[in-house]
Every structure is written in C-alpha cells, then in structure tokens.
Structure 1
Amino acid sequence: MRKSAIAVLTLLAAACTADDLPEQERVIAPILTSEQAFDEFTYAKPLEARVTHVALDLDLDFEGKRVDGTATLDVQAAEGARELVLDSNGLMVGGVTDGQGNALEYTIGEADPGNAEKGEPITIQLGQSTGPNLQQVVIAYASAPEAEALQWLEPEQTAGGRYPFVFSQGQAILNRSWIPTQDSPGIRQTWEARITAPEPLTVVMSGISRGDPEEVENGRRAFEFVMDNSVPPYLIALAAGNIEFAEVGPRSGVWAEPETLQAAAEEVGDTEELIDAGVGLFGEYRWGRYDMIVLPPSFPYGGMENPTLTFLTPTFIAGDRSNNGLVAHELAHSWSGNLVTYSSWRDGWLNEGVTSYIENRISEQVYGADRAEQEYALSFADLEAMVEENGADSPLTAMRTPEGTSPFDTAGEAIYDKGTAFLKTVESVVGREAFDAWLTKWFDEHAFQPATSEMFLASLREDLVKGDAELEERLMLDEWVYGTGIPANVKRPDPAAFAEVDAAVTAYADTQAIPDAAEWRGWTAAEQRRFLAELPEEMSADQLAALDRALSLSQSGNNEVLFLWLQAALRNEYEPAVPQAREFLARVGRNKFVSPLFQALWDTGEWGQPIATGIYDETRGGYHSMTRGNVDKIVGRTSEAEAPAQ
C-alpha cells in the first residue's frame, strides 16, 4: 500500500464507522484504501477530503475559447482534515470561498515534472473538521483556451458551416482542464449544471435536462441539467452547437446537426432493441434515458459512454447499421464502466473488457449468433496480432496495466480484446446461465461504486468457484488478469465464423484470385473487414489496382472498410490512393483511423513522409488534442511551436 494511503487510514477509520456517515460513504471509503485502488494520476487525497457533488454555473465563451464561472463542491471531510486537494490542468482560479461566502486560502502547485499530463494540484484550506462532515467550497475560475478536454470548432469545421461548436472529452484525465474537482475514476460524484450559450446554439450534457432553456441577457440562453447518480468525473460531458433532436423510441433519441440528423436517426434505429437486450441479459437500466449525439468529425473516438448521452463519431454511419456494434458497446457501458467503474486506470479492462463482452452478447441477441461470432473473431485476431508483435512475455499484453503507464498509452487489445476473451472463457467453463446470473449480481451489488481487479476475482471465487480446486485450476483466473500473453485455456472463436472468407484469403494469397463482385457485396461488413485485414503486407501497384477495380474498395461507404483499404494502399506506396487518403484524413478525426494512416505513410520513409507532413500541415488544426498528440509523435513534432499556423 502507498505511504500516502497508509498515512490517512487512521483518519478514515472514524469516518468509516461513524453513524452519521451516509451509507454509500461507508461502502466506498474502504474500497479506496485498497492498494489496487490507488490512482497515481491524481493529486487528490480522497481518504482525507473527498468531493461528492459538483454544481457548475458556467458561460460558454466561443470567442475566448473557454468556460467561465463557478464550481460549487460538496466535500466529505474526515475528522481532523484541514485540506482539500483538487486536480487542475491550466485552470485560472479567481478565488475560493466556503458556502457562506468566506474566503478560503488556496495554492496552485507546480506540475509533476515526471508526469506533465497530470497537471497541477489546487490545495484549499478547509475549516476545522471535528468529525465526518460535509463542507462546501465555491471556486471562481475559467478554463484556458487550450484546455485539452474542450474542442472548440469554427463554423467551417462543422457539417452546417454556419455556427461554432464545442464538445468535451473527459476520459481519461482531461476533465481537470475545465472542471476543478478530484479527477479520478474512483471518486464518484453527483453533479448539476447551469450552462449559458449564445443563441441559437443548443447545449446538451450527460445528465437529465431540467426543462426548456431560459432566455438570459445579451442574446444568451441558459440550460440546466442534473445527474443524481454518482459517476466518475470523466463522465461529466458537454456539447453545444446548432443541433436538433430526433426521437428513436420511448427511452432514446439522437442529437445531431440538421445536415446529419436524418442519416444518424436511421442508423441508430435499433437502439430500443439493444436496450431491451441489455436489460434482459444483465438487469435494470438505471439511467432513465439513453440518448445519443453524433458529433462533428473531429471527435477522436468511435464513441464515448457519457451517461444519458452517448457521444458518437459520424464515421460509424454506413447506411446499413453494419457498424452498430459501436452503439451496443457504448450502451453496454451503462452496466460496465458507468454503473460499476474501475477505481484506477490500471484496471481499464474492468470497464472496456467487460463492456466488450456485453456488447457481443447484446449483438447476439439483436443481430444473431453468426454476426456476434464474427465480431468476436475479429477482436480475437487483433489480440493475437498484438501478442505476436510484442511477445507473449511483454507487460503490454497484461490486462492489468503496468504501474506508471499513462492511461493514454495502454494497449487497447489487452484491455478490450483480452478482457472479452477472458469473460468468454469463464462463460464457456462455468456455463452461460451461471455466468449471466453472477455478472448480473456483480452489477447489482456494486452499483454506483468503484471496483478493482481484486474485488472482481474475489466475487468470481465466492459465487462461482466456491472452493472447487479443480474449477479454480481450469479457470486460470490470476493468469488471465495479472499474467501476460494469452492463457492456454482461452475460448477461441469458431473457425467456421469466417470459413468462406478465409478460403478467399488463402486463394488470393496463392493465386491472386479476387472474390466475385456480387459475392463481395453479399458479404457482411465484418467479412469484408476480415478479408482486407488478412491481405498480404506487401502488394504491387497492379495487384492493388486490380482489387480496387473488382471490388470498388475506394468507393466504399463503410469507413471501417475504406480505412483498411487505404492502410493497405499507403503501406505499399500506392500513388492513386494518396488523394483519397488526403480527403479522408481531412474529414475524419477519429484516432482509430487517423493515427494508423499517418503511421503507414511515415513507415514507408522517403516516399510517404513528405506526403504525411503535407497532409498533417493541412489537417492538424481540425483534430482533437488527443489525436494531435498521437500523430505528433509519429511525425516527430514535439511541441505546439513546431506546428504550422492554422
């Protein structure tokens, strides 16, 4: 256990047993004493003083590219606690008071020189605490124009081209750049917000709207929201722009720019079925509504599971719902990740691996077993490729992330894909009925609480293994969670899932036999992706041209398929693909596509590096800070100063 945790255990003891401490506090506080719950990417000392509620009153300043206003924090302080430590990254603090308006002393510390992305601590002097008690702290502040969580878009960067847009992306540790709070996943908080924006822009947040907007001065409107369920702070999310709403079902709907709304609403038309499947499998949906927003293209992820308002990339829109596994995944977070959340970033698999497993089960319910098995086979192939590339003994292949690893530098295959394979394996050993009952119980018993790998395994052993030594040996639980590589007992996907496609892959490798165009069009998107992912690493220009002529790859309306085609073309220095890659990278900001394509260009050396530099000079300003950071590393830019003016 870390010294910082040990030092305050005596302070916590009184708080954990005090009769006047809320029940949820008595449950959560002991979890935070666990060594596995220690979060090295926060300055907070939650065992001394912990934020339990955040109330935001903010103005959106599109000209200054900042939010400006106050954050009122409810703080649970242990006996004798005199300081509240918050996370910040560039916040400009104007003053701090208590709930009665009395000034409180505060300092803003220096950033950790060995971990600049952690930001800097804000240390606030509290009033004398004589026992477990709730105090209130009010912080007047503004975010910096370069706040990493906020993406401010000029009108020309939107689909409509007339109005500006802003959205936030808090995961993993970016919300500290616009909200002064304890920005750690184990420190769950309820919240409320009043946000003003200039007309005619509409503000939406990851909470329940309190009604119609209120007209305020200077042509602005105020929007109010509340989240009564405690959530990890990275799930406080905001978007504002010229957006409209389309109802999908009684519990669901989608926001988007008017130019995108119809296509978005049609693409997410299965949402109510997906919700029903999740509820039928793993219990109550506890968030009220499940709305979505399709953001402008610069959004760096496929989706973000913000409660009541999933953020989605427009790149998932294919016109045939073939990429709706993305919606199933973000919905699955309503149980895994949002309801029960990892306590520290090192347990990322507890969110993403469990969620990917649930996604697959929901897809099976709605779209059928064949599609679900194909999606698992694609996931498993990615896992195998990552393990082969890094070596089975590499720490990168462990589900529990090595100490000191930035939450932005984790291997997705170890967290998402290995986590999925782990739960598939447990299910295959203990049986689906028993496993579903256990997983539902896990969510029920740990709802709105942080969790650790240790807790997950303890629950498995208590409710499923039950001391059965032979079953314990067959499951290999510790090897899965703490070990490297792929354990020998893994439940592999059914080889028949892609039998036809794999035969076509072999035929192409042997004789360059290209699938018939009609056959290709009859394949699922997963089957097309499988074929393209298995293409030879080295291909000639003639071979690439023949594939494109026969299969119209460069004309695909599915961005997942188009990306794989461009990746194969660029790594083989195929000149005809360069204009399309330039256009694709200019309209798409999803890091899953952007970084690999720049990497493919860069890895070719003399041919591709000037192309990559030229495209990046044109597109960099439209990417989110996370995507920019990744591509900066690829092309050798180490600072903002090296970027061209936009």
Structure 2
Amino acid sequence: MRLSILSLSLAALFAAGCSRDAAPPADPAVKPAATQDTASTAVNASAERDEHSYAQPEQVKTTDLALALAIDFANKQLGGSATYTLEWLDPKATQLVLDTRELTIEKVVGERSDGKWEDLKYALAPADKTLGSKLTIETPQRNKRVRVTYKTAPTASGLQWLEPSMTAGKTTPFMFSQSQQIHARSWVPLQDTPRVRFTYTAHVTAPKDAMVLMSADNDPNAARDGDYTFTMPQKIPSYLLAIAAGDLVFEPISARAGVWAEPSMAKKAAAEFADTEKMMTTTEALYGPYRWGRYDILVLPPSFPYGGMENPRLTFATPTVVTGDQSLVSLIAHELAHSWSGNLVTFSSAKDAWLNEGFTSYVENRIIESLYGKERADMESVISRNELAVEFKEIDPKLQALALKPDALPDPDGSSSATVYTKGAWFLQFLEQRFGREVFDPFLKGYFDHFAFQSIPTATFVEYAKANLLAKHPGKVTEAELMQWIYEPGVPDSAPKTVSPRFDAIDAARKAWLDAGTLPAKAATAKWTTQEWVHFIEGMPETLKPEQLAALDAAYKFTGTPNGEIAQRWYPLAVRSGYTQANDAIAAFLSTIGRRKLIMPTYEALVKTPEGLKLAEATFAKAKPGYHPITTGSVVEAIATAKAAPAAPAPAK
C-alpha cells in the first residue's frame, strides 16, 4: 500500500488480448528460521503469533477459497458463500476458527468423506471493536471442505458503496474493497492473517451495467454481462483479496499491462502511466521475473482512502496522481514493487510491516532512479526523511523500531508510516551502500526467490541476512549495527545521508523571499516539479502573515490547485496562518477528495481552533457520504479529540 509518493505522515497505504496464466512454481520448501538470539530481545518466539487474528493456523489452515457472491447495490451488500479447502495440521484439532466483522452468518456446512454436505454447529462471539467477532465452527469430522453462507453489512469497513452522483460518470453506482490491514473479514469470513496464504476462485453476479473486477485474472476483453468468474492461482494472504464494480472500461498500456477506469478517466490514466511496462522490465532486471501474469491498474473514484493498494494483478490507485506530467507516478512504481516485496514475500503480521513497505519503498526508489534519474530519486528520499524527522519527534519510541514487540500495536492500522516505509527503506539503503550494489542486488533477488509465496517474520529475515550478507562478506556490517537498525528506536548515526542540489536552490529561493520578499524568477519556477514545490512549501515557517500567503497565491495560485500533493501542504499552512481567503477552496478540496493522506493534515489543522473546528464539522457533514469508512474514522477521531481538549486561540490576523 502506498500512503503517499511524497509524504508518509501518520494519518491513522497500476494490449488487448489476455491469456490464461500458468500456475506458479511450487512454493520453495524453506524451513522457517529459528527464533532470533538474545541479542535481539525485542522479539521472541511469540513474534510468530498474529494478535490481530482469532485464527489458529497452526491447527488448520485454508489452502483454497471459493467465493460465490452477488452484488446488491440497492442494499449495499454482498451476499453468498465462502468455501474453504482445509489442511489439518494438528491431529487433535476439531474446530475451524475464522475472523469476521459485522457479518450475518446464515448457514455453515461441511463436506463429508462421502461427498455429501452436512450442517455444522457454529458460534459467533460478541464483537471486539478492533478484531471483530470470532466465528468458531465445530468440525468433529475434520472436514476437508467447509462452506459458510453469509451477508455483509452496509457499514462493512472493507467496502465502500458510492451513489452514481459520487462517480465521474454520474450514472452508475460504484463499489470497491480495501482489505488491508484486517478489513477483509468485513466482507469474507476467513482466516484474516498474512500467516495464511491461499489460492482462490470467485463467481460474482452483478447488475449488467456494472463491470466487476477482482485481484485475479481479469480479462481485458470480458463481456459486461453481469456474470463473472475469476481465478487466482498464486497463493495470497487475505489482505490482498479485492473486488470492485462499476462503469469501468479498459485501456491497454502494453501486452501485459493496462488501465481500468471510468470512461472519462481511462485514456488520461493510461497516458499518465505509460511507463508501466518500462517499470516492470526495470524491476525484472534487478530482482527477477514478474510472477503474476498481468499487471493492470484500476483508477478508483477520488474517495479511495489511500494512494494505492497493491492488490495482485490489479493495483488500486487514486485519481489524484493523474496530473498530466507524470510527476507522481512513483506511486505506480511503489505498487508494482509490491509484486516482489509484500505480495511475493509477505510479512507474517502487522508487527513486521516494514518487511512489506520498507522493502517496497527501497525498490520503488531504485525504479525511479533507473527511469527518471538519481536527482529525482534523491529528492523523493529527502522529502520522506524530512517528514520522518517531524514524525519521530511526536510518536512513541516503541513505534520507531522496525520490528515491534508483541502486543505493541493494538490496532494494526496504527503503525508509524515513517518507520515502516521510510526507516525501512533507509535501512536497506544502508546495507546497499555498505556492501555495494554488486553484492546487495543479488542478495535481494535471492531473498525474493528464496521466500517466494511465503509469509515470514522479521526474525527470519535477520537470520537470512546474517547467513547471506554478514557471514559471506565480513567486516562490512556488524551484527550490532543490524540489530540497532531493526530493534531500536530512532535512526542510527550510521544512516547514509542523501542531499539534493535542486533542493538547495529551493531553500535559497525560499530564504530570499522570507528575508526580502523577493519571489523566485518565473523562468526558474516554470521548471519546478511537484517535488520542488512541495519542498518550497514544507520549508516555510509554521505560520506566515496572511498578506504573505496572498502574495504567494497571486504568483502561484496555490489555492484551488488541482495537485493534491501541493494542496496537502498549502491548506494546513493557510489554516495555521489565518488565511481565511482559502476557506472556500479548502471546503471544496475536503469535499471532493477522500484520500486520507491528502486531507487529514488540513482537518488536523482546522480542529485546533474554534472557527476551524466549525468549518471542519460543516465540511465533514457534507463530505461524509463520499468518504471511505477508513477515512471517516480518521476524521471522526480528529474532531472528537479536538472537542475533548481545550481550544487554542485563533491565529492573529
């Protein structure tokens, strides 16, 4: 998941013709590494446990999931069944425990040895606010297959239902899922933990005007007939289950990549993401073949709560990165990189999220460097690291470790993005520079090959790195340095420094304006990229005089900008500075965009004053129907927290 291509603030993550993909190679028989030694006391054997799931995969695990679902737009509901093919691991186990959230369970049956199905007893426990309800199914016969018939709730946290008015075309309703971290359980009862990987098939029915897609083998030439079948032959964890339905058309990019989007967006997005095939071949040259068949991108309506989501074969992407100048396509590089780091080799619990996001952010930066040059890659690294410095001043030190202690993360959506994305990538750059790319690149490729289609904890990576980097190339990195990066808070002094000469010029231009009111020459600013504008605004003081913002607005028209990355920085500065001239544009921005990373900084600035809180509440009341439940939850929390705290005085005019 990509929360941002430029910022990873703590706001709580893309040719005609299609051939069937061959089944993936058999999963390598790799014995899990032993639990780490006492030098890394932050994590012990209990690190293997996923405290965010009720499932008991050490007793029985799902190997295949077969879904039969009907999409009901009128009632905002999915209904149907999920059939699990099971592998019983504990000879004494006679229960199947599944994760659910707000599901109505209608029937549970199990397949007998004679092929007939019989009713099974089950119990649905009271709901936990974070984890949902445990579904315990009695399976005294240790059935090879079990089927649960169920319906979702209109308020399912992993689904968003959009009225036609909330879409670009204004004629057809839209639905899409967001399963990460533990929201899959709100639309499928299952073992909702990355420790369990499974293949899946699906039969989905929908109104005939809705095209249905899943994180599976979508056919670019599929007929829009209301009846769809899907197959995912590679084993995936539950958070990569995805579904979407709406007025969607396909636009090819290459023989194996393309864009799905509403008709008004499809060609624009395909042009914006024209380098997708180059990104794929670049990554393959570094880290081995792309193993998922097709790579398509679904551009969602603006309410999508994240920048992107790495659903295999079908990246979900925000339309806010379609800017016309390819300045934000590192989001696509990030989601594509997940095809190796995250989707192929997966963290075994949210405590180890850096194994997904840190590796992916590192690979993303290598893709950007290869295609767009080191200067652009360095600028994006500097922006991320500057924001890490800000976040690390505020967050609990225990969230600054790459690998978290058991029970340190009550809510899996509550990890530090600066840690798992930026510090994780920084650590890998540290290893790259110490060992050299001629050593580190083959190591990383070998890591992806060795653990392909497996889910692992940090301890397994540590043992692999010790054996294949430290031991084979002594004198480059000590075990103590490795442990400090992974298990201790903060950023070690050994972290490599990245500088940007272009940012130095931005800093000088900003200083000249602040000191003497001299705006940069138009000849210079006309060539500035989104990254440079972001750095220009981010380096401003906490507040400015309203007349100073008016001068910037007159020169650069920040208020009302269609660029979400710039708006995300400009509007909070305007709010903090009492620049009320921007209020109408702020309300419009917050009402049309649901991407959490872009809008939460403005909400968080608004709620700090009584006047701003009123604007935040009024805007949220209008915007809420178009927000995803994840975004809604973040805004509700920000407003509630502000109401519970003493209000700050309004900024001086």
Residue 151, structure 1, aligned to residue 167, structure 2? no
- Number of the residue aligned with 1:401: 404
* CA displacement 1:126-159 (0-9 Å, x = unmatched): 1435xxxx71001111111111111011000101
Instruction: Note if contact 1:213-1:224 (Cα within 8 Å) is conserved in structure 2.
Output: no
Instruction: Note if contact 2:392-2:490 (Cα within 8 Å) is conserved in structure 1.
Output: yes
Question: How far apart are the structure 2 equivalents of 1:557 and 1:58?
Answer: 38
Q: Tell me which protein shows more helix as a share of its residues.
A: 1
Residues 1:212 and 1:56: Cα distance change in structure 2 (over 3 Å): farther
Shift of 1:225: 0.7
Question: How far apart are the structure 2 equivalents of 1:447 and 1:256?
Answer: 31
Shift of 1:473: 2.8
Shift of 1:23: 7.7
Q: How does 1:266-415 map to 2 (within 5 A)?
A: 266-390=271-395, 394-402=397-405, 403-405=407-409, 406-415=411-420
The sequence identity of aligned pairs, in percent, is: 39
Which stretches in structure 2 are left out of the alignment for 5+ residues?
1-24, 36-43, 644-653
Residues 1:454 and 1:170: Cα distance change in structure 2 (over 3 Å): same
- Number of the residue aligned with 1:66: 77
Residue 632, structure 1, aligned to residue 636, structure 2? yes
Residue 142, structure 1, aligned to residue 151, structure 2? yes
* CA displacement 1:414-471 (0-9 Å, x = unmatched): 1101111111111111111111000000000000000111111111111111076643
SS of 1:441's equivalent in the other structure is helix
Shift of 1:281: 1.1
Residues 1:531 and 1:285: Cα distance change in structure 2 (over 3 Å): same
* CA displacement 1:5-44 (0-9 Å, x = unmatched): xxxxxxxxxxxxxxxxx98597588899953221101000
Instruction: Note if contact 2:81-2:147 (Cα within 8 Å) is conserved in structure 1.
Output: yes
- Number of the residue aligned with 1:83: 95
Question: How far apart are the structure 1 equivalents of 2:491 and 2:446?
Answer: 27
Tell me which moved more, 166-175 or 220-229: 220-229
Question: How far apart are the structure 2 equivalents of 1:479 and 1:637?
Answer: 35
Question: How far apart are the structure 1 equivalents of 2:641 and 2:508?
Answer: 43
* TM, length-normalised to structure 2: 0.89
Residues 1:386 and 1:266: Cα distance change in structure 2 (over 3 Å): same
Question: How far apart are the structure 2 equivalents of 1:614 and 1:101?
Answer: 54
Shift of 1:395: 1.5
Residue 107, structure 1, aligned to residue 116, structure 2? no
Shift of 1:572: 1.4
Instruction: Note if contact 2:362-2:429 (Cα within 8 Å) is conserved in structure 1.
Output: yes
Instruction: Note if contact 2:30-2:451 (Cα within 8 Å) is conserved in structure 1.
Output: no
Q: How does 1:429-448 map to 2 (within 5 A)?
A: 429-448=434-453
- Number of the residue aligned with 2:646: none
Moved over 6 A (4+): 28-33
Question: How far apart are the structure 1 equivalents of 2:377 and 2:296?
Answer: 24
Residue 52, structure 1, aligned to residue 63, structure 2? yes
* CA displacement 1:375-400 (0-9 Å, x = unmatched): 1111111111222334xx72232222
Residues 1:87 and 1:284: Cα distance change in structure 2 (over 3 Å): same
Instruction: Note if contact 1:93-1:142 (Cα within 8 Å) is conserved in structure 2.
Output: yes
Shift of 1:590: 0.1
Instruction: Note if contact 2:568-2:599 (Cα within 8 Å) is conserved in structure 1.
Output: no
Question: How far apart are the structure 2 equivalents of 1:31 and 1:268?
Answer: 42
Residue 480, structure 1, aligned to residue 485, structure 2? yes
- Number of the residue aligned with 1:187: 196
Question: How far apart are the structure 2 equivalents of 1:207 and 1:455?
Answer: 29
Q: How does 1:593-612 map to 2 (within 5 A)?
A: 593-603=598-608, 605-612=609-616
Q: 2:454 aligns with which of 446, 449, 458?
A: 449
Question: How far apart are the structure 1 equivalents of 2:628 and 2:248?
Answer: 20
Instruction: Note if contact 2:470-2:478 (Cα within 8 Å) is conserved in structure 1.
Output: no
Residues 1:638 and 1:188: Cα distance change in structure 2 (over 3 Å): farther
Identify the structure with bigger relative contact order (alpha carbons < 8 Å, sequence gap 6+). 2
Q: How does 1:528-547 map to 2 (within 5 A)?
A: 528-547=533-552
SS of 1:400's equivalent in the other structure is coil
The code of the aligned residue for 1:192 comes to T
The code of the aligned residue for 1:136 comes to R
Q: How does 1:546-561 map to 2 (within 5 A)?
A: 546-561=551-566
Tell me which moved more, 359-368 or 545-554: 545-554
The code of the aligned residue for 2:75 comes to G
Q: How does 1:455-534 map to 2 (within 5 A)?
A: 455-466=460-471, 470-473=475-478, 476-534=481-539
* TM, length-normalised to structure 1: 0.90
Q: How does 1:565-604 map to 2 (within 5 A)?
A: 565-603=570-608
Question: How far apart are the structure 1 equivalents of 2:337 and 2:159?
Answer: 25
Residue 164, structure 1, aligned to residue 164, structure 2? no
Instruction: Note if contact 2:181-2:412 (Cα within 8 Å) is conserved in structure 1.
Output: yes
Tell me which moved more, 566-575 or 206-215: 206-215
Instruction: Note if contact 2:32-2:460 (Cα within 8 Å) is conserved in structure 1.
Output: no
Tell me which moved more, 495-504 or 116-125: 495-504
SS of 1:171's equivalent in the other structure is coil
SS of 1:600's equivalent in the other structure is helix
- Number of the residue aligned with 1:15: none
Shift of 1:401: 3.3
Question: How far apart are the structure 1 equivalents of 2:353 and 2:307?
Answer: 17
Which stretches in structure 1 are left out of the alignment for 5+ residues?
1-21, 640-646
Question: How far apart are the structure 2 equivalents of 1:474 and 1:519?
Answer: 47
Instruction: Note if contact 2:30-2:450 (Cα within 8 Å) is conserved in structure 1.
Output: no
Residues 1:303 and 1:344: Cα distance change in structure 2 (over 3 Å): same
Question: How far apart are the structure 2 equivalents of 1:24 and 1:335?
Answer: 15
Q: 2:422 aligns with which of 390, 393, 417?
A: 417
* CA displacement 1:346-386 (0-9 Å, x = unmatched): 00111001100000000111111111111111111111122
Tell me which moved more, 335-344 or 72-81: 72-81
The code of the aligned residue for 2:248 comes to I
The code of the aligned residue for 1:193 comes to A
* CA displacement 1:285-320 (0-9 Å, x = unmatched): 000010001001110000000000000001111110
SS of 1:71's equivalent in the other structure is strand
Instruction: Note if contact 1:517-1:550 (Cα within 8 Å) is conserved in structure 2.
Output: no
Residue 618, structure 1, aligned to residue 631, structure 2? no
Question: How far apart are the structure 1 equivalents of 2:45 and 2:87?
Answer: 19
The code of the aligned residue for 1:395 comes to K
Tell me which moved more, 628-637 or 273-282: 628-637
Instruction: Note if contact 1:39-1:344 (Cα within 8 Å) is conserved in structure 2.
Output: yes
Question: How far apart are the structure 2 equivalents of 1:295 and 1:30?
Answer: 40
- Number of the residue aligned with 2:106: 94
